Copies of this chain bind each other. A is one copy, B any other.
Amino acid sequence: MESNINSPLPKAVVILSGGLDSTVALAIAVRHHYNAHALSFFYGQRHAVELQHATEIARYYGIKHEIVDIASIVKLVSNSALTNSRIQVPEGHYTSENMKVTVVPNRNAIMLSIAYGYAMNIGADSVWAGMHAGDHAIYPDCRPQFITQFEGMETTALDTVIKLQTPFINKTKSDIVKWGDIYHAPMNLTWSCYKGGDKHCGRCATCVERAEAFHLAGVTDPTEYEDPTYWKTVCNG
């Protein structure tokens, strides 16, 4: 219980997927004395288990947690592998090609605009999101220029400044793990696997990226993988 809903601290909306990045972002917000409000999105993802992890993480911090259903929106905008069971989730390391399969067009603008509406409603002065440098190559809406433009657009839209905090915008996944360690983020409660089984599969691109990130950060990986060594065969780390 590290934060409190009725706290006099400045409020922050933290987009929390239940994955590593957003959980470490939340840990930082909490440690920097924000009264954090977690916001998750159900977008019809096959790995909805992520949201259960988001709920556990919010409970760990004793903070308010809202889950918004945007499945109908995602259906309108996308034929992504994240939500369409006919498309096969790619295995192995992330590449430009297999990452494209998991793109939901305009996802960040949609989620962030909802988060900004929520921030406005509760009087928060910042919105936190966990996108990182590793996302830049394929996802243009994870780049610093997008963040700057989005924040500027919202300043006009709302006639007030709500800061868009993206602590990892120029950081790698292994930096995030290092920060998670420093900030005592409950990384053991996070979920990355795109396949949505009982354990992390260890073979999909997010599992490989996760295992490699812990290795590169020199932090013990608390994750139980179905296939705990596969990542070594596809990484040079």
Residues in chain A within 8 A of chain B (CB atoms)? 66, 68-70, 72-73, 76-79, 104-110, 113-114, 116-118, 120-121, 140-141, 143, 145-146, 149-150, 152-154, 156-159
Contacts and interface: CB of A to CB of B under 8 A. Distances in A.
A100 to B, nearest CB: 12
23 contacts: A68-B76, A73-B114, A76-B114, A77-B114, A77-B121, A78-B117, A105-B117, A105-B121, A106-B116, A106-B120, A106-B157, A109-B116, A110-B113, A110-B114, A110-B117, A113-B113, A140-B157, A140-B158, A140-B159, A146-B157, A149-B153, A150-B153, A152-B153
User: How would you classify the secondary structure of chain A's contact residues: helix, strand, loop or mixed?
Assistant: helix
A149 B107 CA distance: 18
Contacts of A76: 66, 68, 114, 117-118, 121
Contacts of A145: 156
